[in-house]
A and B are shown apart, each in its own frame.
Chain A
């Protein structure tokens, strides 16, 4: 079966760094996405990794290891507005997005 695992909830302090992990087992792989979702809103695109390595985009970075079925989203210089759910999704061989349950990130001052 297809499976995406990520922690249910994480807490971090404003100004700090947090890493949200995602492991996956899917039928085929055509890339991994990270989305941010604030409560009551639709997901917004953060990053897309299809090759191994680190992609940096401002305060957010995303890493992929295809051999390990592993990715992480790294958030630096945390701000209160970063409090949200972070969704990991893998594009499978049918170009369908398989979604993780999301990680709720709580930022404390």
Chain B
């Protein structure tokens, strides 16, 4: 149980285009999902907290107009990287917090590797 999927697993796009990444909790409901970014040889960096039915909360330094987050249902959150640039190339990982859980647990998706050329 507690499986989280991400799609796509990898994507290559041209500079200036937009890319949408989906995060789904497959066998549980998640009121809250988290989006992380990880550059090579660095730790996870929380980008934003996504809450179903409300606006996402962005961490300091993360541009909300560039990284659009939509959490329209209890099992799906999407991250859209708008007008992508090579410096946005990174490993994007989502996690989902079960609605019925202890409040701390998060289950991670497998990640999406984005390369912007």
Contacts and interface: CB of A to CB of B under 8 A. Distances in A.
Contact of B103 (A30, A33, A43): A30
A2 B108 CA distance: 23
Nearest to A102: B43
B105 A48 contact: yes
B28 interface: no
B109 A101 contact: no
Given A87-B44, A99-B43, A99-B44, A42 B93 contact: yes
Given A87-B43, A87-B44, A41 B103 contact: no
B108 to A, nearest CB: 4
Q: How large is the interface on B (under 10, 10 to 19, 20 to 34, 35 or more residues)?
A: 20 to 34
A87 B44 CA distance: 9
Contacts of A31: 102, 104
Query: Size band of the A side of the interface?
Result: 10 to 19
A42 B108 contact: yes
Contacts of B107: 45
Contact of B43 (A45, A91, A101): A101
Contact of A43 (B44, B97, B105): B44
A40 B43 contact: no
Contacts of A43: 44, 93, 108
Interface string A34-50: 00000011111100100
Interface string B40-57: 001110100100000000
Contacts of A30: 102-104
